[in-house]
Amino acid sequence: MTSDKKSVSLLADIFVKKGLSDIVISPGSRNAPLNISFANQPGVRALSVVDERSAAFFALGMAQQTGKTVAIACTSGSAVLNYAPAIAEAYYQKIPLLVLTADRPPELIDMGDGQTIRQKEVYRNYVKESFELLCEEDDQAGMMMNEDTINRAIDLTMYPEPGPVHINIPLREPLYGTTEEQPDGKVFDARMTIYGPDKLLLEELVATWKKSEKILLIAGQMLPDLQLNKYLSELAGRENVAVLTETTSNLNSERFADCIDNIISTIGEEEADTFQPELLVTFGGQVVSKMLKKFLRQHRPVNHWHISPSGEKMDTYFSLNEIVAMQPAEFFRIVMGISDARSSGYASTWSSRKKQVEEKRDAYLKTIPYSDLQVFDVLLNEIPDDTLLHLGNSTPVRYSQLFGSKPKFVYHSNRGVSGIDGQVSTAAGAAFVSDKINTIITGDLGFLYDSNALMNHNLTPNLKIIVINNGGGGIFRFIPGPDTSPQLETFFEARHNWRAKKIAEAFDVAYFKAETLQELKNVLPAFYKNNFSRPALLEIFTPAETNAKVLKEYFKVLK
């Protein structure tokens, strides 16, 4: 059985033939043909999540883990707009989503009909491309045009780099009709050929690399890549090459400078030229460190290359002069073939500073009172090995950077747009398709903002939610400006006395709490014990004022 709307049943048919299986549907009436076609399509796993904003982030988490396109489908009107935050995140984080929005037919747009907005190209700034199916599909030509659109849209979600693609689907009533007649959609490869850099350009790049005495490689957010990790570790052993990574880079080597803020915070103006690169090579997604961006924008390299398979221009440091359309691992394999590294103390400059700040950090941690910094030190050491660690915005992902990258974790964070929304929902989606423990560390406001993530029948017991509750947006006590503003508590920090306990109870989520360091150490084994049928939530209460003082003093000590 499938919908009698031929283009919709065709869409579900081609979706499966393209090797896809997952769709997250939010209940509605206008999208009834989508619900019917996908829910009854063999080979499709159709999930129902009521809240569209949460549903889209849940799908994002699934796609993040599987590496395959996940579809989302909703009804018309404001439901469509609720997808926007997750779509924007997927676009900037390069995660494949197929966005299916049911719509009123063209003649009802702007005619005062209920649940109707202008949906065509509504996400045009945040998707790879927007499509719209023809509303009338009875004639052969119309069906062929829709068939072409569906193939192109699905392929584009993955090629040349992943990202979200939108198909708007106008539908006339009646909406609930079904048929036993199954479509037989034609599947074809709609990808375009993308060529990498030509031989002459590569020769020029290699020549520049050979003569550079201070080469700085910066890895942004990415999934683990063992081959890339190997090449970078070998390059970092050369005197003229330094490699900077963050936790969300998912790269690990003793040779990498993986505590960027710790190091950059100690660089005085009188020694800035020592750390300033001659050649900067960037790759991957967004970088968390604001300190690094400021430093390199003020002390720009002579050359800056960004490596991007799709040829994307990402001029984070305002110095880009070459885009290299290649996979990073392939590029670094080529430059590794350069036999002789130039004599230089550049790598030692970074590694020596890294060692110094790590020693100061470890000594400082032994002296501080109960605070966020102390809590993160315990969590990052005690959370079980082989965990997928999701870091919320804003302070959790920043605190993690201070402790470097731990090989026992795979790190995730919604750093495409870096919004507060959808953090728990994303982790929930990742946990649904994963057989590993998925831990999300989020602030209190981030959790409360996304508490509808728990309004989901698809939650799994391998999801562990850790809420750091310091009574508001703690980051605003660290940022110069808001920290001294009379409006700090009301309009920046959003001071509150809310707790997560009742929310956890309402959704049948096991609840734990800790208010001291000893309580935290005592509760963690029970929290991670594998005897739950649903997720578990640990709320850790910390003192806001102390947190700010401890962190500000931390950077003073490093200097």
Q: Are 38 and 100 in contact (CB under 8 A)?
A: no
- Looking at residue 476, its pLDDT comes to 56
The CATH 3.40.50.1220 domain(s) of the chain lie at 199-354
* CA–centroid distance for 413 within its chain: 5
Helices (H), 236-345: 260-264, 272-275, 290-298, 328-336
In this prediction, residue 493 has a pLDDT band, given cuts at 50, 70 and 90, of low
Q: Which residue has the higher pLDDT, 281 or 183?
A: 281
Mean pLDDT of the chain: 93
The CATH 3.40.50.970 domain(s) of the chain lie at 2-176, 368-558
Look at residue 381 and give its three-state secondary structure. Answer: helix
- Looking at residue 553, its pLDDT comes to 96
Q: What is the pLDDT of residues 297-322, one digit of tens each?
A: 999 999 999 999 988 999 999 999 99
| Other C-beta atoms lying within 10 Å of the C-beta of residue 481 | 9
485 pLDDT higher than 80: no
- Looking at residue 195, its pLDDT comes to 61
Give the C-alpha separation, 506 to 517, whole Å.
27
- Looking at residue 455, its pLDDT comes to 97
| 56-60, 103-107, 216-220, 519-523: the lowest-pLDDT one | 103-107
Give the C-alpha separation, 331 to 313, whole Å.
17
Q: What is the mean pLDDT of residues 212-235?
A: 97
Give the C-alpha separation, 281 to 334, whole Å.
14
| Other C-beta atoms lying within 10 Å of the C-beta of residue 166 | 26
CA angle 503, 504, 507 (to 5 degrees): 90
The structure tokens 């900067």 sit at 280
137 pLDDT higher than 70: no
| Other C-beta atoms lying within 10 Å of the C-beta of residue 443 | 24
401 pLDDT higher than 60: yes
Give the C-alpha separation, 483 to 147, whole Å.
56
- Looking at residue 109, its pLDDT comes to 84
DSSP one-letter code for 191: P
Burial (CB count within 10 angstroms: exposed 0-12, middle 13-18, buried 19+), residue 167: buried
Q: What is the mean pLDDT of residues 436-457?
A: 97
| 406-410, 431-435, 460-464, 497-501: the lowest-pLDDT one | 497-501
Nearest to 303 by CA among 320, 287, 315: 320
Return the CATH number of the domain spanning residue range 368-558.
3.40.50.970
Q: What is the mean pLDDT of residues 463-467?
A: 98
In this prediction, residue 497 has a pLDDT band, given cuts at 50, 70 and 90, of confident
Return the CATH number of the domain spanning residue range 199-354.
3.40.50.1220
Nearest to 558 by CA among 375, 417, 349, 360: 360
Nearest to 142 by CA among 3, 7, 5: 7
Q: Which residue has the higher pLDDT, 75 or 198?
A: 75
434: its two tokens: 């994963």
Burial (CB count within 10 angstroms: exposed 0-12, middle 13-18, buried 19+), residue 485: middle
478 pLDDT higher than 60: no
477 pLDDT higher than 60: no
In this prediction, residue 264 has a pLDDT band, given cuts at 50, 70 and 90, of very high
Q: What is the mean pLDDT of residues 417-425?
A: 95
The structure tokens 């005690």 sit at 382
213 pLDDT higher than 70: yes
58 pLDDT higher than 60: yes
In this prediction, residue 339 has a pLDDT band, given cuts at 50, 70 and 90, of low
Q: What is the maximum alpha-carbon separation in the chain?
A: 77
Give the C-alpha separation, 540 to 515, whole Å.
6
**Residue type (1 letter), 154:** I
Q: What is the mean pLDDT of residues 334-345?
A: 79
| Residue 434, CA distances (Å) to 124, 294, 388, 410 in order | 32, 37, 9, 12
CATH level 3 topology of 2-176: Rossmann fold (3.40.50)
Q: In this prediction, what percent of the chain has a pLDDT beyond 90?
A: 85
Nearest to 224 by CA among 20, 408, 479, 96: 408
Give the C-alpha separation, 426 to 433, whole Å.
11
13 pLDDT higher than 60: yes
